[in-house]
């Protein structure tokens, strides 16, 4: 692979590494502090929630997306715009049920686990990337959408893909949005 | 990629998370700062490895410090260190007049007492980076007026 300009692309990648490495250090510290995997998962989710509530403003300011008219549109935007903007990946979206309020994001590549070979011993139910679930949940709540976001499958835990499930819980506000039939 | 916002928010959550789970008191405060600093240390070690993969060998200590002030700081905080001072006997003072992690917090003396919490991670970052370049050091930070801050690096001669 040839390198056109000497340093710039490198710096970009290293900047991403900063976030990934910091996240890794955080998870390592949490594993030291909490014995149970559920506690670490909950903590990561709560932290992600705090981040998501603030990140959504940054996202809306940068992306200038318009009003969404359906849950699937929202999920598409999360996958194609938000993930691309912050993590540089575009997960694929699938809809899991006929009432169109359960979706899955399938992550082909996950930059957060770039430096993780495997989960530490005795931590088999650790959701390493649970921060992402919290972020999505927090962001959605700031735009008045309640959702349940969890990891349905995780490559680190032995599954074949990494899959995040988003279940929208409440109807969209009728005043602002038209419900997609 | 808008990584900066992500890292900023993660860092702030990190600090508030560490302090939330600790009790009040001087001892606990010190422990939290140590925790944050150790996390920064780990990250600094990893980061400097990624960074210096392709760079030339450093001539001396001053060269390393200049690298930290210019390239390292620019990549991590999008700007260079504004002022580097040294007494040529192992003490370096890095001054950043608009420290990225403090700009959103205040522009003056407000919240000054909380500033040290938000600098601990970066102190560890510098210490970790230097450690993997073969330099043992102690890094402390001081803030007199946000968002300007000074990082003091004391090289430990073994």
Q: Give the DSSP H/E element, type plus range, for residue A147.
A: strand A147-153
| Residues in chain B closer than 8 A to A115 (CB atoms) | 46
pLDDT of residue B121: 95
pLDDT of residue B113: 87
Strand partners, B85: B93
pLDDT of residue A5: 38
State whether residue A9 sits within 8 Å of chain B by CB: no
pLDDT of residue A4: 41
CA nearest A8 in B: which residue?
B75
| Residues in chain A closer than 8 A to B21 (CB atoms) | 33
- Compare CB distances from A51 to B9, B39, B47 and report the shortest one's residue: B9
What are the tens digits of pLDDT across the range B18-75? 888 776 666 778 889 999 999 999 999 999 998 888 888 888 889 999 999 998 999 8
Question: Does this complex have an ipTM over 0.95?
Answer: no
Q: Buried (b) or exposed (e) across B51-89, using 16+ Cβ within 10 A?
A: bbeeeeebeebeebbbbbbebbbebbbeeebeebeeeee
Instruction: Give the number of A-B residue pairs with CB atoms closer than 8 Å.
Output: 87
Please name which of A126, A137, A145 lies closest in space to residue A164, comparing C-alpha atoms.
A137
C-alpha distances in Å from residue A178, one per residue of A99, A146, A175, B52: 15, 17, 8, 53
State whether residue A34 sits within 8 Å of chain B by CB: no
Its sign, for the CA torsion A164, A169, A173, A179, is: positive
Task: Spell out the domains of chain B, with CATH numbers in brackets.
Answer: 4-155 (3.30.1380.20)
Q: Does A43 sit within 8 Å of B17, measured CB to CB?
A: yes
pLDDT of residue B104: 86
State whether residue A169 sits within 8 Å of chain B by CB: no
How many C-beta neighbours within 10 Å does residue A91 have?
23
By percentage, how much of chain B surpasses pLDDT 70?
Answer: 96
Rounded CA separation A50/A164 (Å): 19
- More confident site: B123 or A7: B123
Residues 6+ apart with CB under 8 A from A166: A75, A78, A102, A103, A104, A105, A136, A140, A147, A148, A149
pLDDT of residue A10: 61
Instruction: Please tell me the distance in Å from A168's CA to the nearest CA on chain B.
Output: 24
Chain B residues within 8 Å of chain A (Cβ atoms): 1-7, 9-11, 13-14, 16-17, 21, 35, 38-40, 42-43, 46-47, 50-51, 54, 74-76, 121
The structure's pTM equals 0.87
* Helices and strands counted in chain B (H then E): 5, 4
pLDDT of residue B110: 87
pLDDT of residue A3: 45
- More confident site: B108 or A9: B108
pLDDT of residue A181: 45
Q: Sheet harboring A92-95: ordered strands across?
A: A92-95, A102-107, A162-168, A147-153
State whether residue A114 sits within 8 Å of chain B by CB: no
Residues 6+ apart with CB under 8 A from A17: A114, B46, B47, B50
pLDDT under 50: residue ranges of chain A: 3-9, 174-181
The pLDDT of residue B84 is above 50: yes
- Compare CB distances from B46 to A21, A51, A88 and report the shortest one's residue: A21
């Amino acid at each position: 692979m040839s390198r056109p300009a000497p340093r710039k692309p490198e710096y970009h990648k290293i900047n991403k590494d900063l976030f990934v490495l910091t996240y890794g250090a955080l998870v390592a510290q949490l594993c030291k502090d909490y014995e149970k995997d559920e506690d670490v998962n909950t903590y990561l989710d709560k932290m992600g929630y705090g981040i998501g509530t603030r990140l959504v403003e940054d996202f809306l300011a940068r992306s200038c997306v318009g009003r969404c008219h359906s849950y699937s549109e929202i999920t598409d935007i999360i996958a194609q715009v938000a993930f691309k903007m912050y993590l540089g990946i575009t997960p694929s979206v699938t809809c899991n049920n006929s009432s169109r309020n359960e979706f899955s994001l399938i992550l082909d590549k996950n930059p957060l686990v770039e430096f993780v070979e495997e989960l530490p011993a005795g931590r088999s139910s650790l959701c390493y990337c649970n921060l992402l679930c919290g972020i999505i949940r927090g962001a959605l709540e700031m735009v008045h959408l309640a959702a349940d976001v969890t990891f349905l499958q995780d490559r680190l835990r032995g599954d074949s893909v990494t899959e995040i499930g988003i279940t929208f819980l409440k109807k969209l506000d009728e005043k602002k949005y038209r419900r997609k039939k | 990629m808008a990584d900066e916002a992500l890292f900023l928010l993660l860092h702030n959550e990190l600090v508030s998370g560490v302090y939330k789970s600790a009790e009040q008191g001087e001892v606990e405060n010190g422990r939290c700062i140590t925790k944050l600093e150790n996390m920064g240390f780990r990250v600094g070690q990893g980061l400097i490895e990624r960074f210096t993969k392709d760079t030339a060998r450093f001539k001396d200590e001053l060269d390393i410090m200049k690298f930290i002030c210019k390239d390292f700081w620019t990549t991590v905080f999008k700007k260079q260190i504004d002022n580097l001072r040294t007494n040529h006997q192992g003490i370096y003072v890095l001054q950043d007049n608009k420290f990225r992690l403090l700009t959103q917090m205040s522009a003056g003396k407000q919240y000054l007492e909380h500033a040290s919490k938000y600098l601990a991670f970066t102190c560890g970052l510098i210490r970790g980076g230097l450690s993997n370049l073969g330099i043992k050091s102690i890094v402390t930070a001081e803030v007199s007026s946000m968002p300007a801050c000074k990082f003091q690096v004391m090289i430990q001669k073994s």
